Amino acid sequence: MNDEWEDSDEDEDYPPKSWDEKGLHIMAAQCSTCIFRPGNLMQLNRGRLRDMVESTARDDTNVICHQTLDQPVGALCAGSVEQQPGQMARIAQRLNAVVLVEPEAKA
C-alpha cells in the first residue's frame, strides 16, 4: 500500500473504495473514454498508462474507472479487469459478489 495514502488525513477516501455490502463494483463494459481503448481518449501523459498497468500488476490490484471517481463507491475499470484481474476481482468473482455497473452514455 502507498504510505502517502496511509498517512494522509486530507484524502481519507482516496483511492475510493470499490465495494459495499452488495459486493465489489466492476464496470460491466469499457466506458466510452476508457484508458484501455485505442487512441489515448483521456489524453494521458506519455507513459502514464504503462505506469498504471505496471503498478496494478505489481500490487495485484485494478484501476478505478474515472467515471466513478466522484461517486461514494467507485467501480473497477472493465478494461483493467479484462487485461489482468486483480486479487479483489478474482475473489469477488469466485464468491459471486460482483456488482456490475453500467457505463454512463457519453454524447
Q: What percent of the chain has pLDDT over 90?
A: 67
In the Cβ-directed half-sphere of 92, how many Cα atoms lie within 13 Å? 23
Mean pLDDT of 6-24: 72
- Assign 98 to helix, strand or coil: strand
pTM of this structure? 0.81
Residue 15's pLDDT band, with cuts at 50, 70 and 90, is low
Look at phi and psi of residue 47 and say left if phi exceeds 0, alpha if psi is from -120 to 50, else beta: left
Q: What's the CA gap between 88 and 73, in Å, rounded?
A: 15
